[in-house]
Structure 1
């Protein structure tokens, strides 16, 4: 690899602002905010609006209204619910 063309890869804490869930991982993202992590070290803090802790797909709280509506329309059209 060529030297000097790649961004700095370092440890960063990502925090879900809606649930408070946070995790430490490697990233090239930078931030002016910092946080002291469980290991006693200080890392850059990146705030997110949604993560796997709050996203409906991962939490199982997703809504199937569009699919339910399609099934209802099909049943009404072809009279299967008589």
Structure 2
């Protein structure tokens, strides 16, 4: 059998996760660099699939642009 290839896997290190409600925890990931922070915009505490509540999440003003564009089509 041959040798395994060296240096092909991403680095695995600790990062901090910040949930939408401000809860923080440390985990290991290949994201970013050691000590980086990942701030979530959607997670299990805010996503309708887990909460059962429907909310429109406006990402970069897309909902506002849609409403402005189609404002005259209402009944």
- TM-score (normalised: structure 2): 0.52
Post-superposition offset of 1:11: 1.4
Q: Which structure has greater strand proportion?
A: 1
Aligned partners of 1:58 and 1:22: how far apart in 2? 19
Alignment of 1:57-72 (within 5 A): 57-62=49-54
Per-residue CA deviation, residues 10-50 of structure 1 (Å, 9 max, x unaligned), is 1111113x42133322111115xxxxxxxxxx932111211
Matched, 1:53 2:45: yes
Aligned equivalent of 1:43, options 35, 44, 60: 35
Equivalence for 1:26: 28
After TM superposition, where is structure 1 displaced by more than 4 Å over at least 4 residues in a row? none
Question: Cα RMSD between the aligned structures?
Answer: 2.4
Structure 1 stretches of 5 or more lacking a match? 32-41, 64-82
- TM-score (normalised: structure 1): 0.49
Equivalences, count: 52
Query: Does the 8 Å contact 1:21/1:53 carry over to 2?
Result: no
Structure label with greater radius of gyration: 1
Structure 2 stretches of 5 or more lacking a match? 56-75
Matched, 1:11 2:3: no
Aligned partners of 1:10 and 1:3: how far apart in 2? 18
